[in-house]
Structure 1
């Protein structure tokens, strides 16, 4: 999976020019760590139940090498969600939104990744 710094412009396609990257991590680059509220994880699980930019392959975690990672997801019809094959997009404040790989959930839960506060706030706004 490619690495993009948090807040860098999302350039996967021309259809989403107002998005910035969040959570496109790589083991060779440091990333912020810390506690993330369970409500943020729940909001991401809700988004991951209906992801965007679904691919045919699955990316492995660059930190632990895990692939075909699944998480229990009460918002998914199957009760779980595969990570590493899609993205979540959500609007942010001020017209700029966010694009994150579904692996962001694994990064938070298993590697202590702490997404930036504006992203967390956007996830919480979307939970309503």
Structure 2
């Protein structure tokens, strides 16, 4: 799937955040904030290339380790990798808080696109990623970690309760 950078993200009308560790559960809600697409690349579509801050990919890895957003059935293989090379797979998305009322929506493969294909995300996104408190994000998870886009009244579904 391709979205131009900073276009309105409208692939899924609801957000689904899933725990990465036990006890497993998730929270679903209809977002009341703007979601802007970043890094939705596709073979045959041009994308910006160039240098990025070294900390960007490290921070994207931490953000990806904390979140499981909009997981789907199956995986997406990078279609930018050359034939004959085993491409990395991804499932799900990342959210990065932007300006008030805005979150950036990126595929989990965005770090690979940066390191493996020279993709240069928009400066607004880079600044937002660099502003994330990765120490706090790596020590906590929702609901202890207050992702700014999850409403306080969102319903948490505990999968361990039958």
Supply the distance in 2 between the matched residues of 1:120 and 1:88 (Cα, whole angstroms).
13
**Structure 1 residue ranges, 4+ long, deviating more than 2 angstroms after superposition:** 12-17
- Kindly report the root-mean-square deviation, in angstroms, between the aligned alpha carbons of the 2 structures: 1.6
Identify the residue that residue 13 of structure 1 maps to in structure 2: 12
C-alpha deviations, 1:61-103, integer Å up to 9, x for none?
A: 1111644x2xxxxxxxxxxxxx510100111024221000011
Which protein has the bigger helix share? 1
Number of residues of Structure 1 aligned to a counterpart in Structure 2: 113
C-alpha deviations, 1:19-70, integer Å up to 9, x for none?
A: 1100000121110001111211111101111231112211011111644x2x
Unpaired runs of 5+ residues, structure 2, are 14-29, 135-162
Supply the distance in 2 between the matched residues of 1:45 and 1:127 (Cα, whole angstroms).
13
Supply the distance in 1 between the matched residues of 2:12 and 2:45 (Cα, whole angstroms).
24
- Structure with max Cα Rg: 2
SS in 1 for 2:132: helix
TM-score by length of 2: 0.64
Which protein has the bigger strand share? 2
